[in-house]
Amino acid sequence: NGRRGALMISIDCTHPDLEKFIKVKSDLDKVTSANISVRVSDNFMEAVCADLDWELSFTRKETGETISKTVKAVDIFNQLCENNWNYAEPGILFWDNIESWNLLSNDSEFHYAGTNPCAEEPLPAGGSCLLGAMNLAEFVTDDGKFDWNDFNNAVSIAVVALNEVLDEGIEKHPLQEQRDSVRDWRQIGLAIMGLADMLIKMGIRYGSDESIKLCDKIGKHLAQAALIASSEL
């Protein structure tokens, strides 16, 4: 009905078409309605740092044909950086971190397939992006302090609310694979906004050691309060 879907196209850092993919959006008439990213592994980054060769390889299951190519890892990384500087894409998804730093990393039945368009939320096949944000500026009291109790309580409310949105939307997904994924894995993306406004209201310089320690503390409180609320559900 005229609604444009949001799309992220990604490719693994071992794919033989990697160099073409990195440069695809330098043609402004191609891939005009999607974001693109490269799934980068720890091994690739180590090869970049050590200036090693990097093997690109893909095998077609249907025929058993393998297509291979050897490149310099640092050359690929430089191409990534250059195109991101010139065109803001492709992005880099640090895929080993994404797959290992999540609550389902020890579940053999769960695997990520990609991310939503701005990479806030990694998703399995058929996964649905559902995002919510806590406005940090609203938790600063009149005397310039951060209200931790109010914040923790609001996070709990947000977790419940986002789960209710999941349930409300299950039958609205067109594919059964999507409905099953939302029902079984129940992924939500809860994050923050209003960071700079919060720091202004608290009289803290953006980027200072104090601001970084505060952000770290907020992240820990958000994660803990969200986990507790999720377990109670």
The residues annotated as belonging to the active site are: 116, 118, 120
Half-sphere exposure of 189 (CA within 13 A, CB side): 14
SS3 per-residue string spanning the chain: CCCCCCCEEEEECCCCCHHHHHHHHHCCCCCCCCEEEEEECHHHHHHHHCCCEEEEEEECCCCCCEEEEEEEHHHHHHHHHHHHHHHCCCEEEEHHHHHHCCCCCCCCCCCEEEECCCCCCEEECCCCCCEEEEEHHHHECCCCCECHHHHHHHHHHHHHHHHHHHHHHHHHCCCHHHHHHHHHHCCCEEEEECHHHHHHHHCCCCCCHHHHHHHHHHHHHHHHHHHHHHHHC
